[in-house]
Structure 1
Amino acid sequence: MKKAILLVFTLVTFIASVSAQRKINSDYRLHIKEISDPVIIDGIIDEKTWADAEIATDFFMIIPMDTSYSNVRTDVRMAYDDKHLYLLVENFHAVDGPYMVESLRRDFSFGKNDNFLLFLDPFDDQLNGFSFGANAAGAQWDGIMFNGGQIDLSWDNKWVSKVQNYDDKWVFEAAIPFKSIRYKDGITEWGINFSRMDLKTTEKSGWAPVPRQFPSASLAYTGVLVWDNPPPSPGPNVSVIPYALGGMNRNIQEGQSADYRNSFGMDAKIGLSSSLNLDLTVNPDFSQVEVDRQVTNLERFELFFPERRQFFLENGDIFGNFGYETVRPFFSRRVGLDAPIIGGARLSGRVNKDWRVGAMSMQTAAVPENNLGGQNYSVISLQRRVFSRSNIGAIIVNRQSAAFDPGLGEDRRFSEYNRNLGLEFNYASSNNLWTGKAFVLNSFSPIQGRGVAYASNLRYASGNLTWNWRHEYVSENYTAEVGFVPRTGFYKASPSVGYLFFPKSKHILSHGPELNVNLFYNTNWQLTDNESFMVYRVRFRSQSNLFVWGAYDYIQLQRPFDPTNFSGQQLEAGTDHQWYSLGGEFTSKPQSIFTYAVSGRVGGYFADGDRYNVAGEMGYRFQPYFSLTMSANYNEIHLPEPWSVTSFWLVGPRMDLTLTNKFFITTFVQYNEQIENINLNARLQWRFAPASDIFLVVTDNYLPAPFYAKDRSVALKFTYWWNL
């Protein structure tokens, strides 16, 4: 296995040496000048600044084809002053008819809205950046970019925008404070691209051309924003974000009386430079974060839910993207999972164009009633850019227990410490056709001792052919108590290959097969899992999607397992199970006011049983103010005694009321028969000023039958973003 990793390192380095070259779209250049008169953000083009500005136009089509100019005209202008970066976009109509949007909800779904997006790469490293945009009704979009084209929309910052609709176009105007983004002083060329989605024509287009196999956010294909002078320094960049909260919690099932709480806390953002930021928090509260959507869990291992808390998001990739999705040495959701956070500090950003740094330390309080002592969580990560779009990284993760309360005795939840050290190489060719990763991790714990994990992969993605080779090793005693490693003690090999056809058809955009194989071996190289999956995908020009699949599963249980995750009865470790299954899914076109998706599967299951599943979702919107979505998931499992037939529903409506792009009410109900729970969550948000909000959140949990309340919580929270 180690020889295989060395081979991948060597191959990747060779590819890197031959692919490092001039930036692909460096000939696409937009010159930006300082404003000639004040800009008012109103969506009206009446300032001299915009008459004088250079125009980025003649967008290239990305889908349905990437070989011609777009049929939809988009004109973009940019300008700046000493405090703001300004953007004006004219999105012309190519087909008569109203715009298409879901709602005014912030951070909308890209493929379900007429929209315009800006992608900024202020260091022109083609790896990290920022995205801002709006849909045709004025809902804002903002996110932080990482891994060369992925976007985390949980990140919010302070900026203003306005959309105006006209007969022949919709106009988007925005002002983005320099204090809201990170960039290096003195750099006069930034990477930049613009993306337009027009659902009436089903065209996605970009200013600098992007091959259709990549997202329009791909930073490898950005053009160049050329400044007439170096961007102004943001100056003193200190923001204080206090909050005040009042609330009530009550455990009705245990017969407890209501517990009322009043709390205060504060976050602070201190710009140590235009590219390096220090975040501080004291007594943070995250009650306004939307709760996780429940899922039917038939897996043998822990499920992953993404981080949504603002404090952990900016430059979060330097901490959280180390390793693979199931071998993560650091996962920020572990911090404060079982105990309140007292406070913490977080340094992140760039030292220069080649070096990124991240350092974080968080302290949690003791919870003696849960046998939990105070904990300190610390992580340090460094990245060094190499070649055109690659980097080498290192990480240190440490969880350290404070002095234990003697009352905890031997039942304490955590050992004295758990530590992880890691090295990683991330590769991306200049044209993004080749990507890969290789890493090695060592863990240290007083109980498990020293553990090790290492893995690598290499992926190729052209317009038609995609293939990937990936392998992993995680020792039995590898531990990452601040990470996400649901499975240990295995070798894994995961080859995959896919091919897409692009026919000359009025209805079909692309279609083709894909094969994925996951082979797991125990540390004695005995096969324990074979998950083979063949899928055929069809993407229609209307943006609807269809895929059908077949799968073969072989599992030798390494631990006892309840195949229903419900009954409490378990299959024995060491037993063999294998089966075949078939399924498919269809998703309707997003342009319709009424949308739907349906999926299903039939086939075998553990213990020579059978599993049947059908799921669906229906949505209707009164754009742009209200949308209603109903989802349902039904599973029926046939097993021998003592299980017999087990069935359970997961059902839930979701309602979004967006009276303006600053006032939102989201309500959803989730009935999960598998865990015998009904969850009601209602969340009101009023953004009374940029990045400043009032939240009212109500959460109830009920027993399905009889309909008794188990617990209830209410929180009213006020936050204000104050720039000093």
Structure 2
Amino acid sequence: MRLQISAYLLALCCSSAAWAQWAIPKTTEQVQVDGQLNEALWQQASQVQLTINSWPSENTPAPVQTEALLIENGEYFYLAFLAKDPDPSQIRAYLTDRDKVWDHDLVGVKIDTYNDSKLAYQFFVNPLGVQADAIENEMTRSESDSWDAIWYSAGHATADGYQVEIAIPLRLLNFNEQLAEQNWRIELVRYYPRDLKHRLSSNRIERSNPCWICQMTPATGFAGAKQGNHLALVPSVVTGRSEQRDPASHSDWQGESDTAASLDLKWGITPDINLNATINPDFSQVEADVAQLSANDPFALFYAEKRAFFLDNQDYFSSPLDLVYTRNIASPDLGARLTGRAGQQSFAFFATDDSQTTFFVPGNLGSDVAVLAEQSKNAVLRYRYDLSADLSLGWISTLRQSDSYHNYLHGVDLKYQFTPQDKLQLQYLYADSAYPTELRDSYAGSEAGLRLAEDLSDPAFFLNFEHDDGAWFWYTELLQLDQEFRADMGYMPQTDYRKAVQGLGYNWFSSDHWWNRASLAGDWDISHNSAGELLEKELEMAAELWGPQQSYFELSLIDRDKVGPRHNADSLAIDGNTDLFNEQLLGLWLEFRPWPQLFGAVWLEAGDAIDYRNNRLASFTEIAPELGWNASTHLRIDVRHTYRGMTTGGAEIFTANLTDLRFSYQFSVQSQLRLTLIYNDLQQNPETNPGLTQQRDRSLGSQLLYSYKLNPQTLLYAGYSDNAVQDDQLTSLERDSRSVFMKFSYAFLL
């Protein structure tokens, strides 16, 4: 007991030193980033111990020793980590693509360069030198690893753990270079995943304060630091050939070859203002999207953005509602984006053209996706003014226009942090839209046709109040989207509804082996359309438990009164035009890691749900297992399968099966070969689906992709993909498309 008390007092002493302001020393030397730490300058570096186990424990002594070294030379911020481990054979590190290491052993740094607790850069490295970087946004309480920066790292195994070297170019970071000396906030972090996934830190993190950026340690240094011109030119060439055919008629393959060049420019106009421009960009999706089932889902699916032009500094465009969904922009010829900040102000703007015009046609019971064969112009403007550390005001405009169509949206928003535990967010929007008559006529006889008109204009309103003190959490939310409101640049597939939500929950924490955290929460919500007619009323309860082997268990119960499809699609009325059904669903989510190299998870949902095609209540089942296996240091296998089915009176309505299988072989940190197979099989029973025109819909898509990434902008892709289909006219899978492609780009940093 005396030894335990002494160890704890020592940790408190060390952590108290960490709370004090750090001074980052300056050198004129450079580091060769190889993970060896043999340069003399490391002897001059500031030494920091990561003594705090900040999660899931609350500021207990760290179970292992980690030392960080910090120094800068005016061009780079250098960091080194010496991570000790009592059993190095248990270190979890594999070669993989960047940003795919969040379940590995990791060390890294978080940096708030403006010391205003709004945004933090994250740089993490696994013991083999594989990188992960992200932007943490305090306004949205989110972390996005879609940001990819060019920085340098290397890892090296040691007899008692591992060590890592990191070099972060200051040209990457936005900061106020007018200051004689920088005053940043920094947190040094080590992820130590064993039976639990421990988060070790250089500073304390209080659960009662959900703003973790606010609790980072002040650090001074970087006197006279300049960001330089920050000019990068990235030319690229894409070449390939694609072919299609009609498998039902066994026609010959028809195709074309294409080669195109493009140019991207990235320029730091000033230390705080950055310009990105692109000419003839290749906006094709090199990597296949994660497969999703759409069976019995009345709303359009969401797909994550992967294109670099839209990902850089994307957090500057964030607002309380999801108003910027750039997957709506398909194929532009030109694009420009300007982002920056000055003092308490930040701004972001982008504009592109597009060879076509794609947008959601939203409703309160479902949505469609419309495509106009017209070139469009698209722009977004976002502005925020921070009156204080607690109060922010913002403005957003999204603009889309083609020859016969436009959607203009403008709005204001506010965030106010009353206390570290209490936050208020407001947003008011107004949209003006016009859609061509021809488009409306193409949707004749459907709700989408009624939602389109030559003149639409309406407001929207959002309010959210949250309290989170680490134990108790509760929230109130109001969302009102009036009938003629449209946000065609965003992911907002639902409109003409008003929703009120009340939620309440409590967290328990424990140091017991078999559980470390538990949560019980529930919420009640009710939705009406703009005419005050009931759309949905729901009560949901959920219990969560975190335990050994990095296990997580969630049990949820839903009791929901919800209207089904309209009887008469020529009317938007709800009362007298829909049936009200009572859905009762039981959900179960389980994930665990029984061995370091194996991860498993399964989602199960069962109960009574609406059969949207036939407007009735039916028995519903969905089972979605997932498995990730690091078969070796180089080879990883991921498989996701989703089964979804409905029955009525014991007879099948439909069954849908979707399998996403991926084999990834990582030759080195830069080089990877990946095979993706996506299988989709939908079968519908004509006896329980009156008017059914197609019983079988089956497809198999494959992609073989080789990639070599010297950095996120200097890279080579080469691949082959094809797709095979089967329906009622085909007795087996037959290929209907195939393609080969290659892309090369090189970043000139000037």
Structure 2 length-normalised TM = 0.84
Paired position in structure 1 for 2:349: 359
Pairwise CA distance, 1:252: 2.3
Query: Once the two structures are superposed, what CA deviation does each residue of 1:302-326 show, in whole Å capped at 9, x if it has no partner?
Result: 222222211112221232x2232xx
Output the CA distance in 2 between the equivalents of 1:67 and 1:358. 38
1:550 paired with 2:557, answer: yes
Pairwise CA distance, 1:543: 1.7
Task: Evaluate the alpha carbon distance shift between residue 169 and residue 656 of structure 1 in structure 2; reply closer, same or farther with a 3 A threshold.
Answer: same
Paired position in structure 2 for 1:661: 669
Sequence identity, in percent? 20
1:588 paired with 2:573, answer: no
SS in 2 for 1:608: strand
Pairwise CA distance, 1:151: 2.3
SS in 2 for 1:175: strand
Paired position in structure 2 for 1:314: 312
Query: Once the two structures are superposed, what CA deviation does each residue of 1:22-79 show, in whole Å capped at 9, x if it has no partner?
Result: xx99944221122253311111122221111111114311223113221221111122
* Match 1:646 to one of 643, 654, 659: 654
Task: Evaluate the alpha carbon distance shift between residue 38 and residue 330 of structure 1 in structure 2; reply closer, same or farther with a 3 A threshold.
Answer: closer
Q: How many residue pairs align between the two structures?
A: 668
Pairwise CA distance, 1:578: 1.1
Output the CA distance in 1 between the equivalents of 2:53 and 2:742. 46
Pairwise CA distance, 1:266: 0.7
Output the CA distance in 1 between the equivalents of 2:164 and 2:285. 29
Alignment map for 1:165-184 (pairs within 5 Å): 165-184=157-176
Any unmatched runs of 5+ in structure 2?
Answer: 1-15, 359-370, 435-453, 570-575, 611-615, 683-696
* Match 2:61 to one of 63, 69, 75: 69
Does the CA-based 8 Å contact 1:441-1:452 persist in structure 2?
yes
Paired position in structure 2 for 1:54: 46
* Match 2:323 to one of 329, 347, 361: 329
Paired position in structure 1 for 2:278: 281
Deviates further, 683-692 or 573-582: 683-692
Paired position in structure 2 for 1:565: none
Paired position in structure 1 for 2:524: 517
Pairwise CA distance, 1:710: 2.0
Does the CA-based 8 Å contact 1:502-1:510 persist in structure 2?
yes
Paired position in structure 1 for 2:32: 40
Task: Evaluate the alpha carbon distance shift between residue 678 and residue 448 of structure 1 in structure 2; reply closer, same or farther with a 3 A threshold.
Answer: farther
Output the CA distance in 2 between the equivalents of 1:197 and 1:416. 50
Paired position in structure 2 for 1:194: 188
Task: Evaluate the alpha carbon distance shift between residue 103 and residue 322 of structure 1 in structure 2; reply closer, same or farther with a 3 A threshold.
Answer: same
Task: Evaluate the alpha carbon distance shift between residue 364 and residue 560 of structure 1 in structure 2; reply closer, same or farther with a 3 A threshold.
Answer: farther
* Match 2:482 to one of 468, 475, 483: 475
Any unmatched runs of 5+ in structure 1?
Answer: 1-23, 403-414, 563-571
Pairwise CA distance, 1:358: 0.8
* Match 1:707 to one of 728, 733, 741: 733
Query: Once the two structures are superposed, what CA deviation does each residue of 1:396-424 show, in whole Å capped at 9, x if it has no partner?
Result: 1111225xxxxxxxxxxxx3321001001
* Match 1:673 to one of 667, 681, 694: 681
Does the CA-based 8 Å contact 1:288-1:717 persist in structure 2?
no
Output the CA distance in 1 between the equivalents of 2:208 and 2:597. 28
SS in 2 for 1:312: helix
Output the CA distance in 2 between the equivalents of 1:25 and 1:33. 17
User: Counterpart amino acid of 2:212?
Assistant: S
Task: Evaluate the alpha carbon distance shift between residue 579 and residue 445 of structure 1 in structure 2; reply closer, same or farther with a 3 A threshold.
Answer: closer
Does the CA-based 8 Å contact 1:388-1:429 persist in structure 2?
no
Paired position in structure 2 for 1:420: 409
SS in 1 for 2:146: coil
Task: Evaluate the alpha carbon distance shift between residue 553 and residue 385 of structure 1 in structure 2; reply closer, same or farther with a 3 A threshold.
Answer: same
Output the CA distance in 2 between the equivalents of 1:205 and 1:429. 29
Paired position in structure 2 for 1:410: none
Task: Evaluate the alpha carbon distance shift between residue 375 and residue 560 of structure 1 in structure 2; reply closer, same or farther with a 3 A threshold.
Answer: farther
Output the CA distance in 2 between the equivalents of 1:73 and 1:54. 17
Paired position in structure 2 for 1:632: 641
Paired position in structure 2 for 1:90: 82
Does the CA-based 8 Å contact 2:244-2:737 persist in structure 1?
yes
* Match 1:435 to one of 395, 408, 423: 423
Does the CA-based 8 Å contact 1:548-1:583 persist in structure 2?
yes
Paired position in structure 2 for 1:146: 137
1:266 paired with 2:257, answer: no
Does the CA-based 8 Å contact 1:588-1:595 persist in structure 2?
yes
Output the CA distance in 1 between the equivalents of 2:357 and 2:401. 15
Task: Evaluate the alpha carbon distance shift between residue 390 and residue 552 of structure 1 in structure 2; reply closer, same or farther with a 3 A threshold.
Answer: same
Output the CA distance in 2 between the equivalents of 1:604 and 1:680. 35
Pairwise CA distance, 1:347: 0.3
Does the CA-based 8 Å contact 1:25-1:221 persist in structure 2?
no
1:694 paired with 2:716, answer: yes
Output the CA distance in 1 between the equivalents of 2:164 and 2:189. 13
Higher RCO (CA 8 Å, separation ≥ 6 residues): 1
1:119 paired with 2:116, answer: no
Output the CA distance in 1 between the equivalents of 2:391 and 2:62. 32
SS in 2 for 1:100: coil
Pairwise CA distance, 1:573: 4.9
Task: Evaluate the alpha carbon distance shift between residue 654 and residue 213 of structure 1 in structure 2; reply closer, same or farther with a 3 A threshold.
Answer: farther
Does the CA-based 8 Å contact 1:25-1:222 persist in structure 2?
no
Does the CA-based 8 Å contact 1:609-1:638 persist in structure 2?
yes
* Match 2:205 to one of 206, 210, 229: 210
SS in 2 for 1:51: helix
Does the CA-based 8 Å contact 1:159-1:690 persist in structure 2?
no
Paired position in structure 1 for 2:226: 233
Task: Evaluate the alpha carbon distance shift between residue 259 and residue 561 of structure 1 in structure 2; reply closer, same or farther with a 3 A threshold.
Answer: farther
Output the CA distance in 1 between the equivalents of 2:32 and 2:568. 63
Query: Once the two structures are superposed, what CA deviation does each residue of 1:315-373 show, in whole Å capped at 9, x if it has no partner?
Result: 21232x2232xxx333222122xxx2110111012122x110111111123699x7522
Output the CA distance in 1 between the equivalents of 2:677 and 2:567. 33
Pairwise CA distance, 1:213: 7.7
Output the CA distance in 2 between the equivalents of 1:615 and 1:709. 27
Does the CA-based 8 Å contact 2:584-2:607 persist in structure 1?
yes
Does the CA-based 8 Å contact 1:549-1:584 persist in structure 2?
yes
Two-structure CA RMSD over aligned residues (Å): 2.7
Pairwise CA distance, 1:389: 4.3
Output the CA distance in 2 between the equivalents of 1:229 and 1:695. 41
Does the CA-based 8 Å contact 2:49-2:202 persist in structure 1?
yes
1:223 paired with 2:192, answer: no
Output the CA distance in 2 between the equivalents of 1:84 and 1:474. 48
User: Counterpart amino acid of 2:347?
Assistant: V
Paired position in structure 1 for 2:744: 718
Structure 1 length-normalised TM = 0.87
Query: Once the two structures are superposed, what CA deviation does each residue of 1:471-496 show, in whole Å capped at 9, x if it has no partner?
Result: 11001101122222211111101111
Paired position in structure 2 for 1:409: none
Deviates further, 588-597 or 185-194: 588-597
SS in 2 for 1:317: helix
